[in-house]
Amino acid sequence: MDENLKREEFTHHWLEVEPSVSAYVFASISRFHDAEDDVQRIAQELARRFDEYDFNRPFVAWALWIAKSRVIDYYRAEDRTRFVFSDELLGQLADTIAAQADGRSGRREALEACLEELPPKSRRLLDLRYVEELSAEETAREIGSTGGSVRVLLSRVRTALASCIERRIAMENA
């Protein structure tokens, strides 16, 4: 595989599993900055060792196996006399996160599809509130409305999105 294709393939896999790896690391390491650093080191190691990945197995399982090893290394390097979690518990946590990863990516795909179906005004309202992080009052000024009506509209859009997501997931599972 040529180097650019390999890099693209790795990036695709990493973006899918990064939330699961981060959840695992942040649940295992209590100090935020240490956990953040560990996630970065795990990403680097996965990229460096990508040639070792067996494409017949789920990438999330491989990534979490490496993450588990790095969390254990973290506690050893810290010269801690006691681990916060046992190896067995870390393994169970990794298995649980791996099992849930598919459901989260399915929900994310459903959300993206449902967002595409929204009318432009509803999408703009969501972008102002959640992407640009404007308050309800600031959003109201942008669209020429009141804060109260923005809150009601946002509630309706969120309800419609939730219904759309549930419908899509139900169709996938049927």
Number of Cβ within a 10 Å radius of residue 110: 20
pLDDT means per 10 residues, the chain with 174 residues, are: 82 87 81 86 92 88 90 77 54 62 65 85 84 84 91 86 83 76
Radius of gyration of the chain from Cα atoms? Answer: 21
DSSP string, 118-137: S-HHHHHHHIIIIIS---HH
CATH 1.10.1740 domain span(s) along the chain: 1-101
- Provide the pLDDT for residue 123: 86
- Provide the pLDDT for residue 49: 93
Q: How many CA atoms lie within 13 A of 83 on its CB side?
A: 15
For 26, the token pair is: 């942040």
Q: Which fold has domain 1-101?
A: Rna Polymerase Sigma Factor; Chain: A (1.10.1740)
CATH 1.10.10.10 domain span(s) along the chain: 118-174
Give the type of residue at 166: E
Q: Which fold has domain 118-174?
A: Arc Repressor Mutant, subunit A (1.10.10)
* DSSP tally for the chain: helices H, then strands E: 7, 0
**CA separation for the pair 169, 171 (Å, rounded):** 5
